[in-house]
Structure 1
Amino acid sequence: MALAEAGARGRALLWPRVVLFGDSITEFSFQENGWGAYLAERLVRKCDVVNRGLSGYNTRWAKLILPRLIPKSDSAESTVAVTIFFGANDSALKDLNPKQHVPLEEYAANLKAMVQYLKSVGITEDRIILITPPPLQESAWEKHCLAKGDQLNRRNATTGQYAQACARVAQDCGTDVLDLWTLMQRKQDFSSYLSDGLHLSREGNSFVAAQLWSRLDKKLSALPSLLPYWREVDHMQPEASLL
């Protein structure tokens, strides 16, 4: 059977996708032992996990590019979940890092605008998860800043204000929220979750993966495996199983 003929006989496979949208903590999540890589492994044969992490970005910039990443022309049915994970850069101190800093009220408004945009293209609130920034371990991040000739440009208490704003937006919009800032600090020494005081360590990646999976699993458990297990393929007439 010619490939063109085979393609005509079988309907097109629409592979669902989970979109991870965020800053460097998302971009780095596909590295070895990263939380995004963990999700991709758990969801293989069910859907694609698409990394749209952009190092250094804040919600002011993210709001502008989201329609380019998930345009209205996309089938809403194909996007089964979206995570929005910003705040680590927005919460930078204005005087010391004005390029990345976004005022608290604008940060909340930007998150709300992104949720509303997703809903406008058919991605309902039950498929959206907001993730707060993790806590900042100030002494470790200060060493990182000093090594670059900078001052400490973030504060954990300030990051906490942004985390609270993110949680409020989730409540107002009816989405799920993963409050990493609160959850991680339930451990007395949360520094083990962080590699440099800001970004995730291997233990931090494992923590995020477990927490996020507990939320995603409920949303995606009904997704079928795509294409039959190899033992189930009729080797005498494979087209009967595969088309």
Structure 2
Amino acid sequence: MRRMSASDSLLEAVGSAQPWPQVLLFGDSITQFSFHQGGWGASLADQLVRKCDVINRGFSGYNTRWAKIILPRLIRKSNAENLVAVTIFFGANDSALKDENPKQHIPLDEYVENLKSMIQYLKSVDVPESKVILITPPPLCESAWEKECIAQGYKLNRMNLVVDEYAKACLQVGQNCGTDVLDLWTLMQKDNKDFSSYLSDGLHLSPKGNEFLSSHLWPLLEKKVASLPFIFPYWKDLSEIKPELLLGDGDH
């Protein structure tokens, strides 16, 4: 009979792997880039360290038509049980002008149905509406974005008034489906303030914009993670002689 090694003893003491709660960020490039230095996703991960994992599932250039297709490949019943929150952040690409950017453009009514479909899918794998946060696209600074378009050989392919329609539709979906919504489009322009400093190129977020998003998203997210404990004890609470008294129990 093989003798029990020290590693075997440790595994027996610890038992099954510690389940780690998760917040999943699902969106386009504004989500994908959110883990850059100073990004809003990185800020959330820092605030939630030792309480849950913040997972970045941002896909640059994606619209809701493509997002709806890949969502079941990201979240299934088998891996949904540890999710405490999911953000859905699309619209910046869907709202592209059809004539100038037909590849990314999604008609407004389809955008609405795609958001509803994603919420319904999450519900079907036991992620209820109470765990979902919709985020509207931010406002578009047309003058800055037009420079980016011209530099790449395109005409201006987005307009802020059109983005407004998609933001309002996103807000309405959240109200109809019972999810939280962060109305970024409205908040960034509140009291007719100049929002250009929130954007790095007219479309994507600047450091100031990332900070703005993080600060307004946190109150919505905090409600969903408030009950999460600090995972594993504070080091000063551990025993030098028998640390397994606290570390060996998977409930701590």
| TM-score with structure 1 setting the length | 0.98
Match of 1:224 among 222, 229, 237: 229
Q: How many residues align?
A: 242
Give the drift of 1:5: 2.4
**Larger-Rg structure:** 2
Give the drift of 1:55: 0.2
Counterpart AA for 1:109: E
Question: 1:147-182 deviations in whole A, cap 9, x for unaligned?
Answer: 111000000000000000100110111000000000
Structure 2: where are the runs of 5+ without partners? none
Where 1:182 maps in the other structure, the secondary structure is: helix
Does 1:43 find its partner at 2:51?
Answer: no
Give the drift of 1:214: 1.1
Instruction: Supply the distance in 2 between the matched residues of 1:107 and 1:152 (Cα, whole angstroms).
Output: 21
| TM-score with structure 2 setting the length | 0.94
Aligned counterpart, 2:10: 6
Counterpart AA for 2:43: Y
Counterpart AA for 1:148: Q
Give the drift of 1:74: 1.6
| Displaced runs of 4 or more, over 3 A | none
Does 1:119 find its partner at 2:123?
Answer: yes
Question: Relative to structure 1, is the Cα distance of residues 4 and 75 closer, same or farther in structure 2, using a 3 angstrom cutoff?
Answer: farther
Question: 1:75-100 deviations in whole A, cap 9, x for unaligned?
Answer: 42x00000000000000000100000
Instruction: Supply the distance in 2 between the matched residues of 1:7 and 1:87 (Cα, whole angstroms).
Output: 47
Alignment of 1:44-59 (within 5 A): 44-59=49-64
RMSD: 0.9
Instruction: Supply the distance in 2 between the matched residues of 1:223 and 1:7 (Cα, whole angstroms).
Output: 25
Structure 1: where are the runs of 5+ without partners? none
* Identity across the alignment (%): 63
Instruction: Supply the distance in 2 between the matched residues of 1:136 and 1:119 (Cα, whole angstroms).
Output: 32
Does 1:241 find its partner at 2:250?
Answer: no
* More deviation, 168-177/181-190: 181-190
* More deviation, 53-62/214-223: 214-223
Give the drift of 1:122: 0.6
